[in-house]
Amino acid sequence: MKKIIVIFFVLIPLFALTQNLQKIEKEVFSYFKLPENVSQEDYQPEKIIIKIKPQYRSMAKSSSIEIPALNEEFQQLGVKSIQKKFPAEKPVSNKLNKNIDGQIVDLSLIYEIEIPQSVSLEKAINKLYRTGVIVYAEPLYIPKLLFSPNDPNVSSQYALAIMKAYQAWDITQGDTNVVIGILDTGTDFNHPDLLGNIKYNYNDPINGIDDDNDGYIDNFRGWNLGETNNYPQINSGSHGVHVTGIAAASTNNNTGIAGVGFNCKYLPVKVSNQNGILTHAYDGIVYAANQGCQIINCSWGSVGGGQYGQDIINYATFNKGALVVAAAGNNSKDEKFYPAAYANTLSVGATNTNDKKWTGSNYGYSIDVCAPGEGIYSTMPDNIYGGLSGTSMATPNAAGAAALVKSYFPSYNALQIAEQLKVTADKIDGLNEKSLESKLGRGRINIYRALTETNTPSIVLTNQTFKGSMHDYFIAGDTVSISCFFKNYLAPASNVSVTLKAKDNFIKVLNSSTYFGSIPTLDSVNNSADPFRVVILKDAPENTEALFTVTIQDGNYTADYFFTLMVNVDFINVKINDIGTTITSSGKIGYNKQGQQYGLGFTYKNNPTLLYEGGLMVGNSESAVSSCVRGEQGKTNQDFKSILRVTDSPLMVADINLEGKFNDNTSLTPLNVSINHNAYAWNSPEHRKYIIILYDIVNKGDKPINNLYAGIFADWDIMDYSVNRINYDSDNKMGYSYSLEPNGLYAGIKLLSSTAPPIHYAIDNINGGAGGVDITGGFENNKKFATLSTSRNEAGANQFGNDIIDVMSTGPFYLSPGDTAFIAFALIAGDDLVDLKSSAFAAQNKYDTEIPHNRNHKPIDENEVWFGKCYPNPTKNDVTFEFYLPSPAPVDLILYNSMGQIIEIIVQEASPQGFNRITTDTSILNAGVYIYRLTSGEFSSSGKLTVIK
């Protein structure tokens, strides 16, 4: 006789209303987390960039922000300084620049704040987000120069010949009114090949007065942002001087070399400090744009990106009409590099004398064009010349070309200049490795063609949207509609067709083409009325980015664009009621991966997430604990492996019904358990504030499991994480956490079952653990088992509270081989402690009266076939059928009419093991009731399908 042990929990957050001086609606916020490829060398650890929401403009002063909620956070963080990043910028008065059709950017609400070095940058940024008054908060990234030393005896400028600069100069030698902003380590005012092409500001001569009232005294010949003076002379290295010469050295002056821009001027903007560190790189873009530079050269970058940098690019592009030309990076990787990877820049890769990718150049679908970058001969400090290599060198070649295009086509806006260079570039894919196909942009720049070929359109894919059968996620069997949006920047197009192709064999394209006909210059079109349609096939890998190619054609003009779609995800976002969270296939709660990736966290009524990390832990000794939460310092345990991906459950007891299965076979010390899990959520009024989760833990081994404990680990960061507290309510068997701030929010975990005693352990997440378990140096198995099996009812018990973590568990249990322990949780929200208890009571009642558990619930059996459901039903168009196979097997899915006649054989073939979805189009059927039947071996399931018109 099998022993059945029943355990249930409820996870409960309670949130008070946020008080602000002005009423706002907060957006759901997923935790900020530094990207994995960003190191501490890539940002300034004591600096944060923030942007205040427009409704708080009256409280945004030059060196202070008079918003109480934000000032309180500043005080707790020990903020050292607050300064407007661009104090001279005025609020924008219009939203669109009619000339360029883009979003105007407001820089007047961006601030730079300085925090103590001892404060965690990530924690500080997340604290600021919780105020609800900022648009974004980000690190202040430090870009790096992008060059490599080369033979200093290079004696020729091969790049000019390859790019057809000589032929181009027969058409235009540039306009002195076109200015290239060189944002770098400075120029050399003593170099005879650079002195003659500086753009002088005659409105502000050197006299100690800011004659032009632009906020910079005597910026007659550029500006040194890094050292805050009017002398952008290089004082470290040679990078800036070399870059300047490539784009803008004086040409035809019987001296040295020729700059690609010929007569075009350059504005030196030094963005490095005295040590050559690029401390003011993005500030330089704003300065150059404000000073009237039509082209801005950025031979630098970093792997760190964010909305701040995109704001700066958009400001230059849309507010000021300047084209930002940026280096793609020297990491020899297929990776995004910023600012080059931002939208609205011209991203430049580097090639050599044979039009092959320079060995160090980055590549990828975000590259726009290439230009020569290996062994580029140019000016050096102290009146000499030499060769350097890098995308730093390719970028000024492109910037000089852009300046010539602007000179010859003065009416072109910034993006039109970029598109003209792209559509006239020489294709070089055939000269490079097959793996680089389409990853070197449109080709290598040809300046002559850019000046002479003016009848080519440039139709750009600007955006795409996705719509699935049911959810906002897409898994195997789903049919996805894809709408694409296009804009033609150059010559009118007359016979435009667009084709979609899938690069992966697990995607089947159903509707692959659309036709637009004519698209005038600067006009936009989309295929929302006739979207592309694709099916995610049954063998699609989990959590995979499917790659698509969109090919645009108009006669001889062809352009390819690429985008990705995350498919076959093994997590589901639950947002049906006041709670928002993510249910995963491997025991984590709130987020699918370490570092708050792919998930909602835990939200309530659109408040920012309260949960930093959450998940299941099970164990029976100090050495045998299986979990999906943090482990040894810097690591996360991933002891649970998905057997059945979480999906819609056939057990319809709530408005949202999810089901999945995982085991702990990947643990270093496995318990040999298999865990079915279900999640249920409702949207009716008294049940809108909780989600119930069930875990059925099965002993799959051949030996008994003694002393088993199971519980939920929850690292709550409620509003200001540093002033949190935990208490225990013995009447409700509930550990609850809350913020000590006024109207502080609450979160808790309630045990629903009574078959074993509740165990609650409150962790002070500070050095020393305040007398309890100290996990700041790592959360090893012995510490996990202690929190699962022993009690500690308070944390943050001092006057001001602190960072806390809660563990609610139950046990011990004895499981013979094959025995099952039914364990359940729920996630609940409320507006105060009374509301919290009310929601807990509602969840308990729902569990007692409606949720199947030990009385009649049958867990998923991976050894049996089962049919999920058919949806939507009724349907007008697509309908999806769900079923599970324990092993590959033949499947017949047939649709009949009411007379028993076969209308459609939907599938009649072998299907793979696991969860399957099959979608078919019913739009050609007459309205009425049909019968579907799915059979596989001895299994058979039938049902009614209603088709409506």
Residues labelled catalytic = 184, 239, 392
CA-based nearest residue to 323, from 333, 312, 313: 313
State both tokens at 600: 């909602």
Q: Give backbone dihedrals phi and psi of 606, rounded to 5 degrees, phi first.
A: 65, 10
Evaluate the CA torsion angle 656, 662, 668, 673 in order and state its sign: positive
For 171, the 3-state DSSP assignment is coil
Q: Give backbone dihedrals phi and psi of 851, rounded to 5 degrees, phi first.
A: -85, 125
Element (H, E) at 159: helix 158-162
Residue type, 851: I
Are 445 and 419 in contact, with CB atoms under 8 Å apart?
no
CA-based nearest residue to 809, from 783, 778, 788: 788
Are 847 and 17 in contact, with CB atoms under 8 Å apart?
no
Helices 307-314 and 281-290: crossing angle in degrees, nearest 10, is 20
Element (H, E) at 5: strand 4-6
**Distance separating alpha carbons of residues 325 and 301, to the nearest angstrom:** 11
Q: Give backbone dihedrals phi and psi of 622, rounded to 5 degrees, phi first.
A: -65, -20
Secondary structure (H, E, C), 505-569 = CCEEEEECEEEEEEECCCCEEECCCCCEEEEECCCCCCCEEEEEEEEEEECCEEEEEEEEEEECC
Strands 369-372 and 345-351: parallel
> How many C-beta neighbours within 10 Å does residue 27 have?
12
CA distances from residue 31 to 136, 356, 596, 628, 765 in whole angstroms, order as listed: 12, 41, 6, 18, 18
CA-based nearest residue to 693, from 602, 606, 780: 602
Evaluate the CA torsion angle 837, 842, 848, 852 in order and state its sign: negative
Q: Which residues of 420-455 are buried (b: 16+ CB within 10 A; e: fewer)?
A: bbbbbbbebeebbeeebeebbbbbbbbbbbbbeeee
Residue 40, classified by CB atoms within 10 Å of its CB into exposed (0-12), middle (13-18) or buried (19+), is: exposed
Are 136 and 74 in contact, with CB atoms under 8 Å apart?
no
**Residue partners of 804: CB distance under 8 A and separation at least 6:** 716, 724, 725, 726, 737, 762, 763, 764, 765, 795, 796
* Residue appearing with tokens 């062809």: 558
**Distance separating alpha carbons of residues 223 and 216, to the nearest angstrom:** 8
Residue 22, classified by CB atoms within 10 Å of its CB into exposed (0-12), middle (13-18) or buried (19+), is: exposed
Q: Which residues of 513-546 are buried (b: 16+ CB within 10 A; e: fewer)?
A: ebebeebeebbebbbeeebbbbbbbbebeebbeb
Residue 411, classified by CB atoms within 10 Å of its CB into exposed (0-12), middle (13-18) or buried (19+), is: exposed
Are 94 and 104 in contact, with CB atoms under 8 Å apart?
yes
Torsional class of 544: left (φ above 0), alpha (ψ -120 to 50), beta (otherwise): beta
Indicate the Cα dihedral angle 489, 494, 499, 500, nearest 10°: 30
Indicate the Cα dihedral angle 840, 844, 849, 852, nearest 10°: 110
**Residue partners of 254: CB distance under 8 A and separation at least 6:** none
